Amino acid sequence: AQTVTQSQPEMSVQEAETVTLSCTYDTSENNYYLFWYKQPPSRQMILVIRQEAYKQQNATENRFSVNFQKAAKSFSLKISDSQLGDTAMYFCAFMKFQGGSEKLVFGKGTKLTVNP
Amino acid sequence: SQTIHQWPATLVQPVGSPLSLECTVEGTSNPNLYWYRQAAGRGLQLLFYSVGIGQISSEVPQNLSASRPQDRQFILSSKKLLLSDSGFYLCAWIGGLSSYNEQFFGPGTRLTVL
């Protein structure tokens, strides 16, 4: 079974600085997706960024980028120029192709606080 | 565009009472639907998923059940709530290959069992 590990339960960063959240996963699959979701205090789950395992190029979405190391099964999230609105729980998630019944496996999350 | 609704938003129920949480999706057809539970300070645990009407798969043994009476309706139920059923319940649907299998989440239901 696939597992996702986020080793940092809590992190904090100063506004405008850069922070990296760690995520590792365990799978024997070769084709899969990886995601980072953000859950602000409103508790709405919001997709931050996704990565297809077959793509070597790291995904980037504005201030958010990932460092995808397939061999090491590592998928870290870098937030540049941190903003107060980035304060949230961040969840790393794994999805394998499953013929129409794809499911997400989530890590336990990292609580990020951006300080003014 | 697709939207997903959940109700109620919050619910306080006594132990032993029944439960019915509803999730509906708009703007798509034949979606894969999912129920997750998020306990305090924890990640999301997949409870049930459905690939079509009347088709339910359970991920973990528990006090809850799910049903899909219509294509875009997914219901989470219990006959008798336990204290351990307290948590935040999220419904989600999957966007398919055209949206890179992104899962879209509803606003959630906060359930407190007393």
Q: What is the pLDDT of residues B46-75, one digit of tens each?
A: 999 998 999 999 888 778 999 999 999 999
**C-alpha B103, offset from chain centre:** 13
**pLDDT over threshold 70, residue B23:** yes
Is A91's CB within 8 Å of B43's CB? yes
Give just the sign of the alpha carbon dihedral A9, B37, B112, B109: positive
Please report which confidence band the pLDDT of residue B100 belongs to, taking 50, 70 and 90 as the band edges.
low
Instruction: Quote the minimal CA–CA distance from B79 to chain A in Å.
Output: 27
Q: How many CB atoms lie within 10 A of CB A4?
A: 22
Residue A30: per-residue pLDDT: 85
Residue B59: per-residue pLDDT: 84
Sequence-separated (6 or more) residues with CB below 8 Å from residue A99: none
Instruction: Quote the minimal CA–CA distance from A4 to chain B in Å.
Output: 10
How far CA A46 is from CA of A110, B20, B67, in Å, comes to 15, 25, 26
Give the rounded percent of residues in chain A with a pLDDT score beyond 70.
Answer: 98
Distance CA A90, CA A36 (A): 7
Q: What is the pLDDT of residues A45-87, one digit of tens each?
A: 999 999 999 888 999 999 999 999 999 999 999 999 999 999 9
On average, the pLDDT of chain B sits at: 90
Give the rounded percent of residues in chain B with a pLDDT score beyond 70.
Answer: 92
> Are the CB atoms for A67 and A9 separated by under 8 Å?
no
DSSP state of A9: S
Residue with tokens 């055209």: B98
Residue A48: per-residue pLDDT: 95
Tell me which residues of chain B have a C-beta less than 8 Å from any C-beta of chain A: 32, 34, 42-46, 49, 51, 57, 59, 88, 90, 92, 94, 100-103, 105, 107-108, 110
Residue B96: per-residue pLDDT: 61
At B20, the amino acid letter reads S
Please report which confidence band the pLDDT of residue B89 belongs to, taking 50, 70 and 90 as the band edges.
very high
Distance CA B72, CA B66 (A): 14
Residue B98: per-residue pLDDT: 58
Does residue A75 belong to the interface with chain B, where contact is any CB pair within 8 Å?
no
